[in-house]
Homo-oligomer: A and B are copies of this chain.
Amino acid sequence: MNPTIKDVAQRAGVSVGTVSRVLAKNKTVSEDIRAKVEATIDAIGYRPNILGRSLRLAKTDIIGLVVPDITNPFFAELAKQVEMLASAEGYSVLLANTHDDPDAEKQQIETLLGRLPAGLILVPVSNSLADGLASRTRTVTVDRPLSGHALVSVDNRQGGYLAADHLLSLGHRRLGYISGPGTTEVSGERRGGFVQRLAEFRKSHPGDYVPPQIVEGHFDYRSGEELGKQLLTQPEKSRPTAIATASDQQAIGLLRAADDMGLRVPNDLSIVGFDDIPLASLVLPRLTTIRQPIDEIARLALEGVLGSHALQEEYKLQPMLMKRGSCAAPSTP
């Protein structure tokens, strides 16, 4: 068996309480005793049993991280950042996937909470989790809102707006938009921003306005490819010259669809993605996209969960247009 604090105490000839106070750096212990205790501690290779500690303190150093799918590069990056910051503070990260399934989500959160985490960082899938489920610990929501909880996210509306703005300013008029699932608020906001910019354009240039073609699917590669094909199989004069998407994965799928149909990006088709996952700048052509500051998101989320002061209700970070190679002015035949 591992040595316990009792062994240390006995061998050092002090009480367990004293050893405990040596361990808690900030307590007051006489110098010689502290030295002796510390000596025996690494003499017998004692390491505190975190379970005893947690039980006594009624809380752990564990942070629950619940994401739809760790395979999604955006969430992988989030997980990485959260884990980095957390472990720097001495916390560990418990990972759970929900697979975009509300039941699985409920189940996962349930067992996570059973482990009495110090806090929960949650990318919710259902927008109304069974009553205070997540209220049993400090919870911060990321990316998607959940009523009654602090939210850290990018200003999705602004992101959609930026995408439309960029394309319009390049001279595109026939725009397409590949949206995420209609059920998620994120999708709605991104699309909303996109549409809003177009509405403004309509006001200022009534003659030039063309209503956007909007299709809807999932956030993944495949959906981007399929919906892309759908948008692009039209006679050239009605086919969009530029398409914005709700995720980089969709955009990359779209890239593939365009190529399949013999369209060159950006010559024949401009594309704007969303997220700025690492792959976005490695794909061909490099993807122009709306960047989410993930590191900042992770930082704020963790701060909200661990910090002593309550996090403000909603933390909207500003997205940023990353101009790369997938956009150009429309070719004017």
A residues sitting closer than 8 Å to B (CB atoms) are 47-52, 54-55, 58, 60, 62, 65, 69-71, 73, 76-77, 79-80, 83-84, 87, 90, 92-97, 108, 111-112, 114-116, 221-222, 225, 252-253, 255-256, 259, 278-279, 282-284
Contact = CB atoms under 8 A, between A and B. Distances in A.
Contacts of A112: 92
B83 A76 contact: no
Given A94-B92, A95-B93, A114 B47 contact: yes
Contact of A70 (B62, B76, B221): B76
B70 A73 contact: no
Nearest to A107: B87
Interface of A is mostly: helix
Given A94-B92, A97-B80, A255-B284, A278 B71 contact: yes
A276 to B, nearest CB: 13
B60 A70 contact: no
A158 B59 CA distance: 48
B60 A71 contact: no
Q: Quick one: copies of this chain in the complex?
A: 2
Given A51-B54, A93-B94, A256 B284 contact: yes
A57 B255 CA distance: 54
9 tightest A-B CB contacts, nearest first: A51-B55, A95-B95, A221-B282, A76-B76, A71-B76, A259-B284, A51-B54, A55-B55, A71-B80
Contacts of A256: 282-284
Contacts of A55: 49, 51-52, 55
A189 to B, nearest CB: 26
A97 B84 contact: yes
Contacts of A95: 65, 79, 83, 93-95
Contacts of A90: 111
Contact of A278 (B114, B221, B284): B221
